[in-house]
Chain A
């Protein structure tokens, strides 16, 4: 089959690789009908996530049709149309039973690697380095889905791929980012990053009852998409001297009740600090450029919540621990526990509360994946989300 393979820094190629096979009784094979490039794939593309190997099949946002299943998968039939969540979860360990699916205790066969890096291992993830299991990803024609009796959600016909595909990652991830802000009505939420996750965090914060949502980015086209589709306020950070100052003045001197970091380890920034972190990161003396995290902490009101859904991998410098501690802030974070949100969010889509397809700006053939990565990385041609069709 054809699959998008990581061939080194800034290089992906669509290669011929063997077709996936059932290895365990709880596996299923999915023929992929739609798959997307995620912002976090760009961290792999840019070479900032360790333990990638030349030839790794990428992709963790995909959906398709069950074409084969192991004998222990009894809730799905061959021919079913499914969306597959990006974390691989066994459904039977303590973490899964407590809906902490991205922390599944069993699904990462390279647990020891992750343990060395992070203290404890996390769940396996499709196409996302060997640290998260070394599973082949879904930017391909077929994928093997382990624990298929737990993850994939069945989709009835009559709804387009583009409307449900993002249940695999970015919609639940943005939703969880908003949910972690404890919104009960009347809050002001600031969100850094108007990429797909930031867009869904903004839409979800609105859905959950936030009174004002301020989305921050530097690309006007992305901010415009947000204004038109989610009705949020936007702030182009290149128009202001200081984001924390601007947010303070926009919120009557209080600061937002909660701040969502939907950017992660490769943030951009203007000012001398950017050069400092960029250099340290390039020299691999620091793994992240944590501008957004710093700004989110400095901007948040006293006693507020900083919700981090942007991806981080290692260590950050100049972390404002003093502000966090003295001002009583809480940090909430995590890789999304996608399984927890798929069903309720599918219902929201079916009810017409939201149509996630508004983020799609590019639809390409799978064979055009290399171009898709370039478009997305460099934000060319007003790119916000690339969907690939095998």
Chain B
């Protein structure tokens, strides 16, 4: 039996989550230091706000580090150290503002809550050996209910998609689908965008990442091979494209036919 490897990198979703968590918390601390200071039971005066901002910058730096580096072991440990620093500062806050100890206690509980995954993930990354693996193996596939020779011939004609795939150094494979269901066409490539997860998120938001583009392209290719045309609706007159999904026109006949 073949073992299917679907992820080929060191950073797992927990590390990613902690990275985004740092960015979220840091943003709140930097942009709303007064609110955040009061939330943890501090006075909210100028000095508290300044300290809150500094801690926020720390979080932001850590977040970016975790998201950008392929194996952010030290950045994760820096989060553990940050948790320790946060706990001692919160202890000070609690000591100086006895009236608001409830808030400080709540904040301490939250820090402890996130410290557990921080330690867990830091230890996990520390155990990894060898060169860091940053790229993610992406596989996009589609089944086309036609014989392999027909699909392969049609693929030769799909020049635009093929050029895109060659540029990304992706691997294309054809296989007969089980149960006489036609041909499975699969495209595999290593996704390793600049600036790591931050870059990947930026590409995804604009719909410009290869994985998204390919799922559109393969869908259109299947439509063309099976039905002879690209399916158009009134809301999507140019055919399937994820980018257009969020800003569709109403389902009313189009003024002019688009080809």
A-side residues, CB < 8 A to B, are: 3, 5, 17-26, 53-57, 72, 90-94, 97, 105-113, 124, 127, 130, 133-137, 144, 146-147
Q: When the two chains form their complex, are residues A107 and B251 in contact, meaning their CB atoms are under 8 A apart?
A: no
Residue of B182, B236, B255 with most partner-chain A CB within 10 A? B236
8 new A-B contacts, CB < 8 A, other than A23-B257, A90-B223, are A26-B229, A53-B248, A55-B252, A56-B235, A94-B143, A127-B251, A130-B245, A134-B234
Query: Measured between C-beta atoms, what is the minimum distance from B253 to chain A in Å?
Result: 4
Q: How many residues of B contact A (CB 8 A)?
A: 35
Residue pairs across A and B with Cβ atoms less than 8 A apart, 27 shown, are A18-B255, A21-B254, A21-B257, A22-B257, A23-B237, A23-B254, A24-B231, A24-B232, A54-B250, A57-B253, A93-B145, A93-B227, A94-B182, A105-B222, A109-B231, A109-B233, A111-B240, A112-B216, A112-B240, A124-B233, A127-B251, A130-B235, A130-B251, A133-B236, A134-B233, A134-B248, A146-B231
Choose one: A18, A23, A90; the contact of B226 (CB below 8 Å).
A90
Query: Measured between C-beta atoms, what is the minimum distance from B37 to chain A in Å?
Result: 33
Choose one: B227, B237, B252, B258; the contact of A3 (CB below 8 Å).
B252
Q: When the two chains form their complex, are residues B253 and A137 in contact, meaning their CB atoms are under 8 A apart?
A: no
Per-residue A-contact encoding for B215-229, CB less than 8 Å = 1, 0 else? 110010011001111
For the complex, is B181 an interface residue (Cβ under 8 Å from A)?
A: yes
**Which residue of chain B has the shortest Cβ distance to A143 in the bound complex?**
B253
Which residues in A have their C-beta under 8 angstroms from that of B232?
A: 23-24, 109, 146
For the complex, is B175 an interface residue (Cβ under 8 Å from A)?
A: no
Residue of A55, A91, A133 with most partner-chain B CB within 10 A? A133
Which residues in A have their C-beta under 8 angstroms from that of B229?
A: 24-26
Bound-state CA distance A23–B232 (Å) is: 7
Bound-state CA distance A214–B253 (Å) is: 44
Which residues in A have their C-beta under 8 angstroms from that of B145?
A: 92-94, 97
Which residues in A have their C-beta under 8 angstroms from that of B233?
A: 109-110, 124, 133-136, 146
Which residues in A have their C-beta under 8 angstroms from that of B230?
A: 24
Q: Which 7 A-B pairs have the closest CB atoms?
A: A134-B235, A55-B250, A20-B253, A109-B236, A56-B251, A136-B234, A90-B227
Bound-state CA distance A1–B251 (Å) is: 14
Contact status of A111 and B219, CB under 8 A, knowing A25-B229, A54-B250: yes
Choose one: B227, B235, B242, B257; the contact of A53 (CB below 8 Å).
B235
Q: When the two chains form their complex, are residues A56 and B252 in contact, meaning their CB atoms are under 8 A apart?
A: yes
Which residues in B have their C-beta under 8 angstroms from that of A124?
A: 231, 233
Q: When the two chains form their complex, are residues A18 and B215 in contact, meaning their CB atoms are under 8 A apart?
A: no
The DSSP consensus for interface residues of chain B is loop
Query: Measured between C-beta atoms, what is the minimum distance from B211 to chain A in Å?
Result: 12
Query: Measured between C-beta atoms, what is the minimum distance from B258 to chain A in Å?
Result: 8
Contact status of A18 and B236, CB under 8 A, knowing A90-B226, A92-B145, A147-B227: no
Bound-state CA distance A130–B236 (Å) is: 9
Choose one: A134, A137, A147; the contact of B236 (CB below 8 Å).
A134
For the complex, is B239 an interface residue (Cβ under 8 Å from A)?
A: yes
Contact status of A110 and B240, CB under 8 A, knowing A92-B227, A94-B181, A130-B235: yes
Which residues in A have their C-beta under 8 angstroms from that of B182?
A: 94
Contact status of A5 and B252, CB under 8 A, knowing A93-B226, A133-B235: yes
Query: Measured between C-beta atoms, what is the minimum distance from A135 to chain B in Å?
Result: 5
Contact status of A130 and B226, CB under 8 A, knowing A22-B257, A92-B145, A97-B145: no
Which residues in A have their C-beta under 8 angstroms from that of B258?
A: 23
Which residues in A have their C-beta under 8 angstroms from that of B249?
A: 53
Which residues in B have their C-beta under 8 angstroms from that of A25?
A: 228-229
Which residues in B have their C-beta under 8 angstroms from that of A110?
A: 233, 235-236, 240, 245, 248
Which residues in A have their C-beta under 8 angstroms from that of B252?
A: 3, 5, 17-18, 55-57, 136
Bound-state CA distance A108–B253 (Å) is: 16
